[in-house]
Amino acid sequence: MPIREILTHPDQRLRRTAAAVPRVDDDVRALLDDLVDTLRDIGGAGLAAMQIGDMRAAVIVDVGRRTHPEGKSTLLEMVNPVIVERAGHVLWREGCLSVPGVSAEVERSARLVVEYLDRDGQIVRHSAEGLEAVAIQHELDHLDGVLYFDRLGALEQKLTLQDYDRACAERTGRAGETESAP
Ligand code: NI
C-alpha cells in the first residue's frame, strides 16, 4: 500500500467536514491500510483520512510505541467514530503531522468511550484514557475540520502560529539551500 502525502496547514481541505462512510468495503479497508502505512512511515500517535486528502470519516490511532516499553502496537482503526462518554479534564502537549514543528498544551477530556465501525464493519465500543484518549479527541477533531490550535486561548494561538510560520520559513530555506547545493 502506498505511503501518502500529508496535507499541512493552511491547506483548506483540512477545514472541511468528513463524510460518514455508508459501508465498510474493500475500498475503505484500502484507505485504512494507507493510513497505517503512512503513520508507521512518518511516526506519530494517529492520523485522519482528511490529512491525506480523503474526506471520509476514518481515523487511526496507535499509541503503543509510546506507552508500551516493548513498543507493541495498539492500533485502532476507526470508521465513523463518535465519542459517546467523557470524564475528567487533562492538559496535554499536542503536536500534529499537519502542523509540523510546533506543539502546545490543549485541554481535553481525561477519559472517554468511543464507538466506531472496525475494518469488518462491526460496531466497537472502546474505553480510553491518557495519551490514547487525547489522540482520539485530536483525530476526531480533524473529521470536523478542527486543528488543535483552534482550541487554544487567543494569545497562545497567536504565538503557536508565529512559531509555525517561522518553522515553515526555516524548512523552505533549508530546502532552497539543498536545491542550490552542487
Ligand atoms: Ni493532527
Residue 179 lies in a domain: no
**Distance between CA atoms of 129 and 90, rounded to whole angstroms?**
10
Residue 6 lies in a domain: no
Choosing from 77, 94, 132, 139, which is the catalytic residue?
Answer: 139
Residue 74 lies in a domain: yes
Find out whether 104 and 149 touch, Cβ atoms under 8 Å: yes
Residue 3 lies in a domain: no
Domain ranges, residue 125: 12-172
**Rounded distance from Cα 22 to ligand 1 centre (Å):** 24
Q: Name the DSSP letter for residue 154.
A: H
The enclosing domain of 147 has a CATH number of 3.90.45.10
Secondary structure (3-state) at 80: strand
pLDDT tens-digit series, residues 23-70? 999 999 999 999 999 999 998 999 999 999 999 999 999 998 766 667
**Rounded distance from Cα 158 to ligand 1 centre (Å):** 18
Residue 180 lies in a domain: no
Residue 25 lies in a domain: yes
Q: What is the pTM of this model?
A: 0.92
Residue 165 lies in a domain: yes
Q: For the residues 131-137, what does the mean pLDDT come to?
A: 97
Q: What's the domain count of the chain? A: 1
